[in-house]
């Protein structure tokens, strides 16, 4: 398979996320180069935050009860997905959206080939791990028609948040259901790796319960 890597990130020098026990963790601003992307876009997180009306987005509160911290992180995540998708200047048969802060099992190439050979169906492959509302937003892939509905969903979040709390999987699941996209299970797992080097215990426990091996 031939592929290109498109990467979006923010120019952070330090990261704090109380929910994952990350406090003023110093970041390597050049670590993204390990991925050797074919195209990269780096934005100011402060500029992006100023462009967002977080008061409106949190009309119905913060579903994680983190005083808005996780809601802001969700918006930043969706902006990265949207930006990476908008960077693409040529058509592809399959689009993989992968978080770079995770340790993965092998790529499920059989599902990739199914997407490549079916360009007319609205189908998205997602892991069973971490699902809520029948979806997981950690990593997924589909054809261009499907990703045109899913990748730029930040544009739909503002209106959605005036009706419901802006929870990541709830929002994505509702969008997929409304768009009549079929969700298929992905034979692939991952563990989140925090900026402080710790691995998500919830992910490890899930893999051990399913007797999957990733380390």
C-alpha dist (Å) from residue 88 to 118, 176, 194, 207: 21, 22, 28, 34
0.75 surpassed by pTM: yes
> Tokens for 15?
């990261």
Task: Return the structure tokens found at 23.
Answer: 């406090």
Instruction: Please state, in angstroms and rounded to a whole number, the distance separating the CA atoms of residues 43 and 71.
Output: 19
pLDDT digits over 95-125, tens only?
A: 999 999 999 999 999 999 999 999 999 999 9
Q: Is the pLDDT of residue 83 over 80?
A: yes
The full 3-state SS of 34-85, as one line of letters, equals HHCCCEEEEECHHHHHHHCCHHHHCCCCCCCCCCCHHHHHHHHHHHHHHHHH
Cα dist from 160 to 152, 165, 200, 207, whole Å: 14, 8, 29, 33
Q: pLDDT tens for residues 145-176?
A: 999 999 999 999 999 999 999 999 999 999 99
Mean pLDDT of 34-61: 97
In the chain, how long is the greatest CA-to-CA distance? 46
Q: Where are the domains of the chain?
A: 6-209
């Amino acid at each position: 398979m031939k592929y290109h890597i498109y990467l979006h990130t923010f120019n952070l020098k330090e990261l704090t996320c109380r929910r994952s026990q990350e406090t003023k963790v110093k970041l390597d601003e050049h670590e993204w180069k390990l991925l050797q992307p074919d195209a990269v876009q780096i934005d100011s997180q402060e500029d992006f935050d100023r462009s967002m009306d977080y008061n409106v987005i949190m009309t119905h509160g913060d579903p994680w009860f983190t005083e808005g911290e996780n809601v802001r992180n969700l918006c930043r995540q969706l902006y990265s997905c949207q930006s990476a998708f908008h960077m693409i200047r040529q058509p592809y048969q399959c689009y993989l959206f992968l978080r770079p802060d995770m340790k993965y099992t092998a790529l499920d190439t059989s599902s990739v080939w199914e997407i490549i050979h079916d360009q007319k169906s609205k189908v998205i492959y997602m892991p069973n791990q971490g699902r809520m509302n029948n979806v997981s937003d950690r990593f997924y892939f589909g054809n261009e028609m499907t990703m045109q509905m899913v990748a730029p969903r930040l544009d739909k979040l503002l209106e959605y948040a005036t009706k419901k709390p802006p929870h990541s999987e709830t929002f994505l699941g509702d969008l997929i259901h409304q768009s009549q996209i079929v969700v298929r299970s992905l034979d692939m797992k991952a563990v989140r790796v925090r900026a402080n080097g710790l691995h998500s215990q919830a992910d490890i426990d899930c893999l051990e319960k399913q007797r999957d091996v990733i380390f």
